[in-house]
């Protein structure tokens, strides 16, 4: 029986082992010469209510957008955050890996015209189920809820992995930026921004909801102090006094000019501070300002009337380290103020958040921002 060799095997047989060795060396060199994986994309700063990995995706997309749509102006991460907040609440309830992959996948209702999810229009399948797992009808996919047909035109590779995946936070954010920009909108113009959002979802109520979140996130993202820069004088004394209390328990009604104290009963949620030695939000502010000889009222709403009032409309950029910063049920009505913190700069504050927590430093809250005061 004659043994037949394939052409490659025959060639190796003719040329001998040296060629085999050479080929193995070439394969090894190729394997080790692959470019290293791109470093993880990380957020610059933090914003309350937005997971850091999702914030990083929005920031990365805004940075990369000019290469994709050079004629577009005014793309900022708060625009993308506003869309994602309404669409999926920043992929809430799902895991986002360091590479930006979201699991489990976020899938909207089947768009078969049945009325589920408010849809009465039939959208036949366009991707053979590749992105939405449905070979009959479309489903919106990913954190920005793209239809697969729309993704085919707007999808982009934002993390240099040579794939465009609407279930990847980075790719999805850049794809959304491309879609919003169209052929080159000026998103600094409010009318053009509204038109872009309306194109994303043909609902005026949707536009208004997204714009409200864009405005909130824009306030939260305005930096005033470079990272690492410390205030001086009385502002530094106030901040240092508050920072020295980090880790002290929250106590409803607790805290005075001399430091932590037992509180009273009871908070609106029924929590008592009677057996807890610590601070509530206004007690911490009262203590910190007492260290520079300023006697603040006991409640957060009353503290808003001390010194120069900085309205919410002025944005976070109008605040300086040491200012009191307030949060209200209705940010235009000081009588509804329910929380106070001490501004540290870079969109952060130190505060006693709520029963069951400790005094801590965190990003300014995205809900109910009511501006600040400057007692100093």
pLDDT for residue 271: 94
- Assess whether 255 and 145 both reside in one domain: no
d(CA 205, CA 363): 29
Domain count of the chain?
2
Question: Do 331 and 371 form a contact (C-beta atoms < 8 A)?
Answer: yes
Per residue in 74-101, pLDDT tens? Answer: 999 999 999 999 999 999 999 999 999 9
- Taking every pair of C-alpha atoms in the chain, what is the biggest distance, in angstroms? 105
25 assigned to some structural domain: no
pLDDT at 125 over 80: yes
Q: CA torsion angle for 79, 84, 85, 90 (degrees, to 10)?
A: -130
Q: Radius of gyration of the chain from Cα atoms? A: 28
Q: Are 289 and 349 within 8 A, CB to CB?
A: no
Chain centroid to CA 289: how far?
32
**Quick check: pTM over 0.75?**
no
- 130-185 pLDDT, tens per residue? 999 999 999 999 999 999 999 999 999 999 999 999 999 999 999 999 999 999 99
| Domain stop point among 220, 251, 270 | 220
From the number of C-beta atoms within 10 Å of its C-beta (0-12, 13-18, 19+), residue 88 rates as buried
pLDDT for residue 14 is more than 60: no
- How many helices, marked H, and strands, marked E, lie in the chain? 11, 10
**Range name among 214-218, 316-320, 335-339 with the lowest pLDDT average:** 214-218
Name the residue range of residue 300's domain: 233-374
Whether residue 320 sits in one domain with residue 247 = yes
pLDDT (0 to 100) of residue 119: 75
Q: Are residues 211 and 337 in the same domain?
A: no
My answer on whether 72 and 211 are in the same domain is yes
205 and 57 in a common domain: yes
Angle between the N-to-C axes of helices 77-88 and 190-200, in degrees from 0 to 180, rounded to the nearest 10 = 30
State the CATH number of the domain containing residue 290. 3.90.1720.10
Q: Give the pLDDT confidence score for residue 186 in this predicted structure.
A: 97
Same domain, 241 and 289: yes
CA–CA dist 290, 296 (Å, integer): 8
Span 293-332, pLDDT tens digits: 999 999 999 999 999 999 998 888 889 999 999 999 999 8
Parallel/antiparallel/unpaired status of strands 102-103 and 95-96: antiparallel
> What pLDDT is stored for residue 204 in this prediction?
95
Per-residue confidence (pLDDT) for residue 36, from 0 to 100: 53
What span, in angstroms and rounded, lies between the C-alpha atoms of 300 and 282? 5
**What pLDDT sits at residue 114?**
87
At residue 4, the pLDDT reads: 36
In DSSP terms, 372 is beta-bridged to 310, 325
């Amino acid at each position: 029986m004659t043994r037949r060799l394939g052409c490659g095997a025959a060639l190796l047989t003719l040329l001998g082992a040296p060629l085999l060795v050479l080929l193995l060396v070439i394969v090894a060199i190729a394997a080790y010469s692959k470019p290293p994986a791109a470093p993880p994309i990380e957020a610059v700063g933090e914003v309350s209510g937005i997971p850091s990995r999702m914030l990083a995706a929005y920031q990365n997309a805004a940075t990369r957008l000019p290469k994709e749509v050079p004629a577009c102006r005014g793309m900022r991460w708060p625009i993308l955050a506003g869309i994602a907040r309404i669409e999926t609440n920043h992929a809430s309830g799902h895991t986002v890996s360091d590479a930006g992959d979201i699991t489990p996948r976020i899938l909207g209702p089947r768009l078969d015209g049945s009325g589920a999810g408010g849809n009465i229009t039939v959208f036949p399948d366009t991707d053979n189920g590749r992105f939405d797992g449905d070979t009959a009808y479309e489903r919106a996919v990913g954190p920005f809820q793209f239809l697969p047909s729309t993704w085919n035109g707007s999808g982009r590779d934002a993390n240099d992995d040579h794939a465009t995946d609407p279930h990847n936070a980075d790719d999805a954010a850049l794809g959304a930026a491309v879609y919003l920009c169209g052929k080159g909108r000026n998103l600094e113009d409010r009318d053009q921004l509204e038109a872009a959002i309306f194109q994303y979802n043909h609902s005026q109520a949707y536009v208004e909801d997204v714009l409200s979140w864009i405005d909130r996130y824009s306030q939260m993202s305005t930096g005033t102090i470079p990272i690492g820069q410390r205030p001086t004088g009385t502002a530094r004394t106030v901040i240092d006094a508050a920072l020295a209390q980090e880790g002290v328990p929250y106590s409803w009604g607790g805290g005075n000019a001399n430091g932590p104290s037992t509180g009273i009963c009871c908070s609106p949620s029924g929590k008592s501070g009677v057996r807890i030695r610590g601070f509530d939000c206004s007690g911490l502010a009262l203590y910190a300002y007492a260290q520079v000889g300023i006697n603040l009222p006991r409640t957060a709403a009353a503290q808003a009337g001390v010194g120069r009032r900085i309205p919410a409309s002025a944005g976070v950029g109008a605040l300086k380290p040491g200012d009191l910063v307030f949060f209200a049920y209705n940010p235009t009505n000081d009588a509804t103020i329910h929380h106070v913190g001490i501004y540290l700069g870079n969109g952060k504050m130190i505060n006693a958040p709520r029963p069951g927590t400790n005094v801590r430093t965190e990003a300014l809250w995205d809900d109910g921002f009511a501006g600040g005061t400057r007692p100093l």
